[in-house]
């Protein structure tokens, strides 16, 4: 693994010429994604500024151009009209002011009439490397480039640590006010979210108080990327608690969770209906964000980063890493959250063929387990095995407990071993359906129509393109495979 000096990580990018060579080098990598948004060079991490604005979906992501390393962050911009086909639009925000001199960190967007606004964290560091996070805003100009406000909306509070960032803006019609949620950490290193409010998008912001989540006063060491949305009369709060281990997540200290409940903007209290849930049970899913301005009372749209902070992946050797997940539609069904690929996903699916034990490089695999009481017995699905069925990533379903055990120790390329290569995926109901979306270096599993999801990076080597389905519970299962057509152009646009 390459080591980077601070100077190298925070090198300022001046022109496209400086990275075209890097793009040309990586573009032929066998692991470049075909239907996922990925960095043109270097690193992509958190999704940012996800919004539906005048018929177009805008998405930005945290982008570090120089390599697969966390350094000077830009926002890279992509657009789509259907959440499936994405076009690179170039760097959408440059760290070029005093307030964001060491990076434009994560944030959100908001569409108001003809105007699109971006809210982000200006990561300022002084000559002694002391950090001051500012909450900054910009408005998109007619050329689609952001025009930054000359001053931040507000600076950090002195009674919290330097970790105050990731503004998520929401409008609350009952109060005719905007609210910004900020991920934060208390002085004694506990996860918090702070709330600011204003009647106007770009001025008058005041600190309203700390978000109260009864029962979760001391949960995790920092709440990154808090985000909230209202669907079917409920509020869904998500955030990425960090610096803590959680049950069933092996040695990982980075998680992405959700709670269903109700948000009272008068008392700044989010009351969860029950406990927290994992947004995704896979090895690599983080910093998810809801799209703003979806305006569907029954559905939210979410996207996450396939990757985790402090983890390392094989394509780092090629100077790039990370990708966005497939966007997901979220609904509440019988009080439970279900997630599914976007409605238009079918546009890139070729005709179904019966599964013959082979995976295509990009494909959807659908497995229907027998109807009735079954599967009352166990079975094991192995993806990315060798031709003889050995190796691969296995998903062993235990019918009695309704727990799948995901195990990636059989893959040729192993990495992040210290974080854990085996994870449980507990289900509420017996496993009936599995839908898997496989791209060049990722797999996303939607279990029981998205009642649970599992997202992972995976880097199959040349021979690892087969699957097996074995065990008594799999008798009579129907497997269909559909090739997935490319939907994201790997264009070099800066
Ligand atoms: C989450 C995060 C955010 C921050 C950004 C910096 O992965 O740490 O809290 O704004 O990444 O890239």
Nearest atom in ligand 1 to the alpha carbon of residue 305 is 7
Q: What pLDDT does residue 74 have?
A: 98
Q: Which residue numbers in the chain have pLDDT < 70?
A: 372-375
Q: What atom in ligand 1 is closest to the CA of residue 64?
A: 12
Strand, coil or helix: 110: strand
Distance (angstroms) between ligand 1 centre and the Cα of 106 equals: 6
- Residue among 39, 42, 45 whose CB has most ligand 1 atoms within 8 A, to mutate: 45
Q: Is the CB of 255 under 6 A from ligand 1?
A: no
Q: Supply the pLDDT for residue 1.
A: 77
64-92 in b/e form (b: 16+ CB < 10 A) is: bbbbbbebbbbbbbbbbeebbbbebbebb
Q: Are the CB atoms for 43 and 69 separated by under 8 Å? A: yes
Are the beta carbons of 205 and 180 closer than 8 angstroms? Answer: yes
Domain 6-342 has CATH 2.115.10.20: yes
How many whole angstroms from its chain centre is CA 339? 13
Same fold, 6-342 and 349-483: no
- Looking at the whole model, is its pTM more than 0.95? yes
Question: Which residues participate in catalysis according to the annotation?
Answer: 46
Q: Are 436 and 364 in contact (CB under 8 A)?
A: yes
Question: For position 2, what pLDDT does the model report?
Answer: 84
Please tell me the distance from the alpha carbon of residue 75 to that of residue 45, in angstroms, as a whole number.
Answer: 10
Q: Is 73 touching ligand 1 by the criterion CB < 6 Å?
A: yes
Asked whether 46 lines ligand 1 (CB < 6 A), one says yes
Å from CA of 279 to ligand 1 middle:
18
Q: Which residue has the tokens 């470049």?
A: 32
Fold for 349-483, please state it.
Jelly Rolls (2.60.120)
E strands in 191-246: 191-198, 206-210, 222-231, 234-242
User: What's the rounded Cα separation, in Å, for the pair 308 and 254?
Assistant: 7
Domain ranges of the chain: 6-342, 349-483
Distance from the CA of 326 to the center of ligand 1, in angstroms?
A: 20
Which pLDDT score is estimated for 166? 98
Distance separating alpha carbons of residues 315 and 436, to the nearest angstrom = 22
């Amino acid at each position: 693994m390459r080591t980077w000096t601070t100077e190298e990580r925070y090198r300022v990018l001046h022109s496209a010429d400086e990275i075209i060579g890097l793009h040309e080098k990586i573009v032929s990598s066998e692991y470049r994604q075909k239907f996922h948004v990925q960095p043109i060079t270097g690193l992509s991490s958190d999704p940012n500024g996800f919004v539906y604005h005048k018929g177009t979906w805008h998405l930005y992501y945290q982008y570090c151009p120089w390599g697969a390393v966390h350094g000077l962050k830009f926002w890279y911009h992509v657009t789509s009209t259907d959440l499936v086909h994405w076009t690179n639009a170039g760097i959408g925000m440059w760290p070029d002011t005093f307030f964001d001199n060491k990076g434009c960190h994560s944030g959100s967007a908001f569409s108001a009439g003809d105007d699109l606004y971006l809210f982000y964290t200006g990561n300022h560091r002084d000559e002694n490397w002391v950090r001051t996070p500012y909450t900054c805003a910009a408005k998109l100009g007619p050329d689609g480039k952001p025009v930054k406000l000359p001053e931040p909306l507000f600076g950090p509070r002195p009674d919290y640590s330097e970790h105050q960032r990731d503004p998520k803006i929401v409008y609350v019609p009952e109060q005719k006010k905007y609210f910004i949620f900020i991920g934060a950490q208390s002085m004694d290193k506990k996860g918090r979210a702070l709330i600011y409010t204003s009647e106007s998008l770009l001025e008058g912001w005041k600190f309203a108080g700390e978000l109260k989540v009864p029962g979760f006063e001391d949960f995790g060491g920092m709440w990154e990327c808090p985000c909230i949305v209202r669907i079917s009369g409920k509020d869904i709060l998500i955030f990425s608690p960090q610096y803590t281990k959680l049950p069933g997540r092996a040695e990982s200290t980075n998680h992405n969770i959700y709670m269903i409940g109700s948000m009272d903007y008068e008392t700044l209290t989010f009351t969860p209906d029950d406990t927290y849930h994992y947004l995704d049970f896979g090895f690599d899913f983080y910093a998810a964000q809801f799209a703003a301005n979806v305006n569907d009372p029954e559905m939210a749209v979410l996207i996450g980063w396939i990757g985790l902070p402090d983890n390392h992946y094989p394509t780092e050797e090629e100077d790039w890493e990370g990708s966005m997940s497939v966007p997901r539609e979220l609904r509440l069904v019988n009080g439970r959250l279900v997630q599914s690929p976007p409605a238009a996903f079918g546009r890139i699916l070729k005709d179904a063929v019966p599964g013959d034990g082979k995976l295509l490089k990009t494909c959807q695999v659908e497995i229907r387990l027998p109807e009735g009481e079954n599967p009352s017995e166990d079975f094991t699905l192995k993806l990315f095995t060798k031709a003889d069925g050995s190796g691969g990533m296995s998903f062993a379903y235990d019918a009695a407990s309704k727990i799948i055990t995901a195990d990636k120790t059989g893959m040729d390329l192993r990495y992040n071993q210290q974080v854990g290569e085996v994870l449980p995926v507990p289900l509420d109901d017996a496993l009936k359906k599995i839908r898997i979306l496989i791209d060049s270096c990722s797999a996303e599993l939607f279990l029981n129509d998205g009642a649970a999801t599992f997202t992972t990076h995976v880097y199959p080597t040349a021979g690892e393109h087969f699957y097996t389905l074995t065990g008594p519970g799999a008798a009579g299962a129907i497997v269909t495979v559909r090739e997935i057509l490319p939907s994201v152009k790997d264009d070099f646009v800066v």
